[in-house]
Amino acid sequence: MSAPAIQTKRWTRQEYDRMAEAGIFNPDERVELLGGEILIMTPQNSLHSATIGLAHTALQHAFGRNHWIRIQLPLIIDPDSEPEPDLAVVPGNPRDYVKEHPRSALLVVEVADATLALDRDRKAHIYARAGIPEYWIVNLTERCLEVYRDPMTPPGQPASYRAVMKLGPSETIAPLAAASTTIAVADLLP
């Protein structure tokens, strides 16, 4: 006699939001919905937190007052993903998003050390599938900035980015949505 197949419950964004509203998650617990799975994120160390602060300052300077640089807040990506990227640049200001979280961003930034594989793989696929035009990983392990641009969805394959580059501390980058400004990679690294 064969054992019944084990199935995994996939969660929708609506179910996930209802669980959060019902207080199922501990207020101190950092969770994200990615591809229908609820992931428990690792606690932040001081290096991670400082890097978020440095990147926030650099992005505020580059994008100016007409953009909101969101820190670890939800993005509505699709029916089964609601990531909370370390930073997301969206047009407008907080009042523009009172009724609903943004459904896209001009730029998403993740700070990675322990989560590098997750950020390169699953999150990159999710952001590309959502059409996020530019995705950065501040890679603390290799002390570089990984830049992903030009999302695509090849038939029968997961979404990805056509252009991928690594920039070292001595290099600069101009965000696609703020092309007239440059950011020194060193300004993003602690």
Residue 6 covered by a domain: no
Give the residues across from 151 on adjacent strands: 161
Residue 156 covered by a domain: yes
CATH number of the CATH domain containing 121: 3.90.1570.10
For the chain (190 residues), the mean pLDDT of every run of 10, in chain order, is 71 83 80 79 86 97 95 91 94 93 95 92 94 97 97 90 97 96 96
Q: How many domains does the chain have?
A: 1
Taken in order 58, 147, 141, 184, the sign of the CA dihedral is negative
How far, in Å, CA of 174 to CA of 183, rounded? 6
Question: Which residue range is the domain that position 48 belongs to?
Answer: 42-188
pLDDT at 23: 82
Residue 25 covered by a domain: no
How far, in Å, CA of 67 to CA of 63, rounded? 6
